[in-house]
């Protein structure tokens, strides 16, 4: 079914609905096994990581003792803090947190307990992928109503024709004549969403057959104040180039580890638009997706600002296509960094909330400094090491690399176990691993710095999300 833009334009913007008691039965349904309290896990991880960072700083300070002038000492301390001490702290916290992480058990629900779900897909020039995405939705083993709304955002290719060539009973097509950006398209779909839960999905994403059921079950099993759950996003086109091979490891290892850690300590900060679930009424209360570069980050922080919780479902998997060449990849990551600054500008007051999630918001506040220090110090550190001066490169190798390797080994084991439970296999990708370990940061950090600067300056960032 196709809906013309004029039809939804007449509707009142984002009618506010009452809070739905979807997760109200969680307290009686969830039977948790005995485990360490979350606050105790947090304290343990914090103590170990602070001790490791203090040891790194003391040792690096001893190595820097030969520097003569106060100016050189100050510069050296700032660089070592950015490239060694803070990364050592973060990687140690990550490793300990992953060791302590136990996914909360799911409740068991009858098929009749599942709510209806509206899936929003913003599509701009997606003629080559949109039908496959819809086919993956058709294959979902979800026991309740699914309403899929594809918003054709001013496509100039055959996207609309492809959508009209299929006749899924649950599919509606909203045709926007001119491209207004991803946020505008999703908000247009939100106006028409009729189900209590809304899921966003990229137009080139492919869902695992159990992805939707697992995502909704995670939401229904989580605490009653949960308003959004981030899905697990992995790389679909990993064999296309070295750039995609490296990103496969980033999504499988780095991004997954960060989200697991944030979820463990109740601080999931981004529900990515690629694949995430939201309560429809809360989406409307916070105003939908903002028109900015990091619309999914700013939206997630708006949900947190409204005193709700955001969860993470590690085994609700969507495979998406990532940039295959260096330039669009760097532009995408620059946009992500720009979006982080936008989130701080819009919801920086979250830094003063007495919640565990505040720790990770403050954590993100350190990234611009660390990325800048890495960008400035890496090449000089290598050159100094070649001349026998090891205080900079040595600090990185001695204190960052060991805990980083430990964290990566832990998350690989955890992710591989999750893959086996889904009937998936971790493909061999040694070239991508080599590039991810040695080259990824070299190109990623400078791009992130440019994104931070553009966000601070208020420059407009192009939408590279599709």
Instruction: Report all structural domains of the chain as residue ranges with CATH numbers, in order of start.
Output: 2-15+110-329 (3.90.550.10), 45-103+357-457 (no CATH)
d(C-alpha 59, C-alpha 42), whole Å: 26
Strands (E), 194-225: 197-201, 206-207
d(C-alpha 118, C-alpha 96), whole Å: 38
Taken as a whole, the chain contains a residue count of 466
β-bridge partners, 175: 4, 152
CA distances from 312 to 32, 213, 218, 257, 371 (A): 18, 14, 8, 11, 26
Average pLDDT, the chain: 89
With contact defined as beta carbons under 8 Å apart, do 378 and 83 qualify?
yes
If you ran DSSP here, which 8-state letter would residue 37 be given?
A: -
The H or E element containing residue 155 is none
Instruction: Give phi and psi for 294, each to the nearest 5.
Output: -105, 60
pLDDT per residue over 185-243, tens digit each?
Answer: 999 999 999 999 999 999 999 999 999 999 999 999 999 999 999 999 999 999 999 99
Q: Which of 255, 464, 448, 466 is nearest to 334 (CA)?
A: 448
d(C-alpha 282, C-alpha 327), whole Å: 36
Q: What is the mean pLDDT of residues 397-405?
A: 92
pLDDT over threshold 70, residue 19: no
Per cent of the chain over pLDDT 70 is: 90
pLDDT for 103 equals 84
d(C-alpha 197, C-alpha 307), whole Å: 18
359 Cβ neighbours under 8 A, 6+ residues apart: 42, 265, 267
pLDDT over threshold 80, residue 30: no
Strands (E), 75-225: 117-123, 146-153, 171-176, 197-201, 206-207
First to last CA, the chain: 24
Q: Which of 221, 197, 199, 223 is nearest to 309 (CA)?
A: 223
- pTM of the shown model: 0.89
**DSSP states of 268-335 as a string?**
-----TTEEEEEHHHHHHTTSS-SSTTHHHHHHHHHHHTT-EEEEEEEEEEEE----SHHHHHHHHHH
Strands (E), 347-404: none
With contact defined as beta carbons under 8 Å apart, do 442 and 378 qualify?
yes
pLDDT for 65 equals 65
pLDDT for 12 equals 38
Q: How many CA atoms lie within 13 A of 269 on its CB side?
A: 26
d(C-alpha 20, C-alpha 353), whole Å: 25
pLDDT for 62 equals 77
With contact defined as beta carbons under 8 Å apart, do 137 and 119 qualify?
yes
With contact defined as beta carbons under 8 Å apart, do 216 and 142 qualify?
yes
Lowest mean pLDDT of 72-86, 254-268, 330-344, name the range.
72-86
The H or E element containing residue 176 is strand 171-176
**Residue 67's pLDDT band (cuts 50, 70, 90):** low
**Quick one: how many helices (H) and strands (E) in the chain?**
20, 9
**Residue 350's pLDDT band (cuts 50, 70, 90):** very high
**Residue 275's pLDDT band (cuts 50, 70, 90):** very high
Residues 98, 103, 108: CA angle, nearest 5 degrees: 170
d(C-alpha 349, C-alpha 355), whole Å: 12
SS3 430: helix
Highest mean pLDDT among 5-9, 60-64, 111-115: 111-115
pLDDT for 34 equals 60
């Amino acid at each position: 079914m196709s809906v013309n833009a004029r039809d939804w334009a007449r509707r009142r913007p984002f009618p506010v609905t009452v809070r739905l008691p979807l997760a109200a039965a969680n307290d009686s349904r969830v039977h948790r096994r005995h485990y360490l309290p979350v606050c105790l896990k947090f304290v343990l991880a914090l103590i170990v990581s602070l001790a490791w960072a203090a040891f790194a700083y003391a040792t690096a300070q001893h190595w820097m003792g030969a520097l003569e002038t106060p100016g050189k000492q100050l510069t050296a301390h700032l660089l070592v803090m950015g490239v060694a001490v803070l990364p050592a702290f973060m990687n140690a916290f990550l490793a300990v947190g992953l060791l302590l992480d136990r996914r909360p058990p799911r409740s068991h629900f009858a098929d009749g307990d599942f709510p209806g779900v509206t899936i929003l897909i913003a599509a701009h020039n997606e003629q080559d992928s949109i039908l496959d995405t819809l086919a993956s939705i058709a294959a979902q083993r979800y026991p309740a109503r699914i309403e899929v709304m594809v918003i054709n955002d001013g496509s100039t290719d055959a996207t609309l024709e492809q959508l009209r060539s299929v006749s899924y009973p649950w599919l509606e097509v909203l045709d926007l004549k001119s491209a207004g950006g991803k946020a505008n398209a999703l908000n247009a779909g939100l106006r028409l969403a009729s189900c209590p839960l809304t899921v966003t999905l990229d137009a080139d994403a492919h869902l695992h057959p159990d992805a939707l059921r697992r995502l909704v079950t995670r939401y229904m099993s989580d605490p009653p104040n949960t308003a959004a759950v981030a899905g697990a996003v992995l790389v679909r086109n990993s064999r296309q180039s070295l750039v995609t091979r490296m990103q496969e490891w980033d999504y499988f290892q780095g991004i997954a580890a960060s989200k697991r850690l944030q979820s463990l300590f109740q601080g999931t900060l981004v529900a990515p638009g690629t694949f995430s679930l939201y309560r429809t009424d809360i989406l409307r209360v916070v105003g939908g997706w903002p028109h900015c570069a990091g619309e999914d980050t700013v939206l997630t922080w708006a949900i947190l600002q409204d005193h709700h919780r955001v969860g993470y479902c590690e085994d609700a998997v969507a495979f998406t296509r990532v940039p295959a060449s260096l330039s669009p990849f760097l532009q995408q990551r620059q946009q992500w960094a720009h979006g982080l600054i936008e989130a701080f500008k819009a919801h920086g007051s979250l830094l003063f909330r007495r919640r565990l999630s505040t720790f990770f918001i403050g954590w993100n506040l350190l990234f611009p400094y660390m990325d800048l220090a890495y960008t400035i110090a890496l090449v000089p550190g290598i050159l100094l090491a070649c001349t026998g001066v090891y205080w900079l490169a040595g600090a990185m190798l001695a204190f960052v690399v060991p805990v980083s390797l430990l964290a990566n080994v832990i998350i690989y084991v955890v992710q591989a176990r999750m893959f086996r439970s889904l009937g998936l296999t971790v493909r061999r990708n040694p070239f991508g691993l080599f590039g991810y370990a040695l080259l990824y940061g070299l190109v990623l950090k400078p791009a992130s710095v440019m994104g931070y600067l553009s966000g601070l300056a208020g420059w407009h960032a192009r939408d590279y999300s599709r």
